[in-house]
Amino acid sequence: MSFNVKVETCPKCGCKNTENLLRVEKGSPIKVYVKCSECGAFVACYTLERYTSDKTYESLLRLMRKRGHSVHSRFRAKEIDGFSAEIQEQFRKTLEAPRCELKIEEMILNHR
Ligand SMILES: [Zn+2]
Protein backbone atom coordinates (compact mmCIF):
# COMPACT_ATOMS: atom_id res chain seq x y z
CA MET A 1 0.00 0.00 0.00
CA SER A 2 1.42 3.38 -0.92
CA PHE A 3 0.41 6.57 0.81
CA ASN A 4 1.49 10.16 1.33
CA VAL A 5 1.73 12.04 4.61
CA LYS A 6 1.77 15.75 5.21
CA VAL A 7 1.38 18.09 8.17
CA GLU A 8 -1.29 20.68 7.51
CA THR A 9 -0.13 24.28 7.34
CA CYS A 10 -2.11 27.48 7.75
CA PRO A 11 -2.56 29.12 4.31
CA LYS A 12 -2.39 32.59 5.90
CA CYS A 13 0.58 32.48 8.30
CA GLY A 14 2.33 29.15 7.52
CA CYS A 15 1.93 27.90 11.09
CA LYS A 16 1.60 24.15 11.73
CA ASN A 17 -0.33 24.47 15.00
CA THR A 18 -3.99 23.77 14.38
CA GLU A 19 -7.17 23.12 16.35
CA ASN A 20 -9.72 20.56 15.22
CA LEU A 21 -13.31 21.55 15.89
CA LEU A 22 -15.66 18.58 15.67
CA ARG A 23 -19.20 19.30 14.60
CA VAL A 24 -21.69 16.53 15.34
CA GLU A 25 -25.17 17.15 14.01
CA LYS A 26 -28.12 14.79 13.70
CA GLY A 27 -28.71 13.73 10.09
CA SER A 28 -25.35 15.04 8.87
CA PRO A 29 -21.96 13.38 8.67
CA ILE A 30 -19.48 14.36 11.38
CA LYS A 31 -17.43 17.34 10.25
CA VAL A 32 -14.04 18.56 11.38
CA TYR A 33 -13.20 22.23 10.93
CA VAL A 34 -9.48 22.88 11.15
CA LYS A 35 -8.52 26.31 12.48
CA CYS A 36 -5.07 27.87 12.78
CA SER A 37 -4.07 28.18 16.44
CA GLU A 38 -2.00 31.28 15.72
CA CYS A 39 -4.09 33.53 13.48
CA GLY A 40 -7.48 31.77 13.59
CA ALA A 41 -7.72 31.31 9.81
CA PHE A 42 -9.73 28.50 8.20
CA VAL A 43 -7.32 25.71 7.19
CA ALA A 44 -9.61 22.90 6.05
CA CYS A 45 -12.86 21.05 6.67
CA TYR A 46 -13.24 17.26 6.63
CA THR A 47 -16.29 15.05 6.53
CA LEU A 48 -15.75 11.89 8.54
CA GLU A 49 -16.82 8.44 7.55
CA ARG A 50 -15.66 7.06 10.89
CA TYR A 51 -14.24 8.41 14.10
CA THR A 52 -11.57 6.43 15.93
CA SER A 53 -10.28 7.65 19.25
CA ASP A 54 -7.97 5.91 21.69
CA LYS A 55 -10.97 4.10 23.23
CA THR A 56 -11.00 0.34 22.76
CA TYR A 57 -14.07 -1.43 21.43
CA GLU A 58 -14.77 -2.77 24.94
CA SER A 59 -14.73 0.67 26.51
CA LEU A 60 -17.07 1.94 23.77
CA LEU A 61 -19.51 -0.84 24.61
CA ARG A 62 -19.36 0.14 28.30
CA LEU A 63 -20.00 3.78 27.36
CA MET A 64 -23.00 2.80 25.21
CA ARG A 65 -24.49 0.65 27.98
CA LYS A 66 -24.06 3.50 30.45
CA ARG A 67 -25.95 5.81 28.06
CA GLY A 68 -28.79 3.29 27.77
CA HIS A 69 -28.10 2.08 24.24
CA SER A 70 -29.14 -1.48 23.51
CA VAL A 71 -26.80 -4.17 22.30
CA HIS A 72 -28.35 -3.86 18.84
CA SER A 73 -27.74 -0.14 18.56
CA ARG A 74 -24.01 -0.68 18.80
CA PHE A 75 -24.11 -2.22 15.34
CA ARG A 76 -25.75 0.95 14.06
CA ALA A 77 -22.97 3.10 15.49
CA LYS A 78 -20.91 2.71 12.32
CA GLU A 79 -19.47 6.18 12.75
CA ILE A 80 -17.52 5.13 15.84
CA ASP A 81 -14.67 2.67 15.65
CA GLY A 82 -12.75 1.15 18.55
CA PHE A 83 -9.02 1.59 18.91
CA SER A 84 -7.17 -1.53 17.82
CA ALA A 85 -3.69 -2.91 17.21
CA GLU A 86 -4.30 -2.29 13.51
CA ILE A 87 -5.00 1.41 14.11
CA GLN A 88 -1.92 1.62 16.34
CA GLU A 89 0.19 0.11 13.54
CA GLN A 90 -1.26 2.49 10.92
CA PHE A 91 -0.56 5.41 13.26
CA ARG A 92 3.06 4.29 13.74
CA LYS A 93 3.64 3.92 9.97
CA THR A 94 2.04 7.31 9.36
CA LEU A 95 4.33 8.98 11.91
CA GLU A 96 7.38 7.33 10.35
CA ALA A 97 6.54 8.19 6.75
CA PRO A 98 8.44 11.02 5.05
CA ARG A 99 6.42 14.20 4.67
CA CYS A 100 5.02 14.82 1.21
CA GLU A 101 5.94 17.96 -0.71
CA LEU A 102 2.71 18.06 -2.72
CA LYS A 103 -0.31 20.16 -1.83
CA ILE A 104 -2.97 18.15 0.03
CA GLU A 105 -5.37 18.65 -2.90
CA GLU A 106 -2.71 17.13 -5.23
CA MET A 107 -2.17 14.20 -2.83
CA ILE A 108 -5.90 13.47 -2.89
CA LEU A 109 -6.15 13.76 -6.69
CA ASN A 110 -3.11 11.47 -7.16
CA HIS A 111 -4.84 8.71 -5.21
CA ARG A 112 -8.07 8.88 -7.19
ZN1 LIG B 1 -2.43 31.06 10.69
Per-residue pLDDT of 22-76, as tens digits, reads 999 988 999 999 999 999 999 999 999 989 999 998 888 888 888 887 766 655 5
- 111: confidence class by pLDDT, cuts 50, 70, 90: confident
| Inter-residue contact 52 to 60 (CB < 8 Å) | no
Give pTM, 2 decimals. 0.81
| Residues shown for the chain | 112
Q: How far is the CA of 11 from the centre of ligand 1 (A)?
A: 7
How many angstroms is it from 104 CA to the middle of ligand 1?
Answer: 17
Residues 108, 102: Cα–Cα separation, whole Å:
10
Q: Facing residues of 42 across strands?
A: 35
Q: Which helix (H) or strand (E) holds 10?
A: none
* From 8-17, 66-75, 77-86, the region with the lowest mean pLDDT: 66-75
Q: How far is the CA of 100 from the centre of ligand 1 (A)?
A: 20
Nearest to 93 by CA among 5, 8, 18, 17: 5
Give the Å distance between the CA of 94 and the centre of ligand 1.
Answer: 24
Structural domain boundaries in the chain: 8-49, 50-99
User: In angstroms, what is the span from residue 32 Cα to ligand 1's centroid?
Assistant: 17
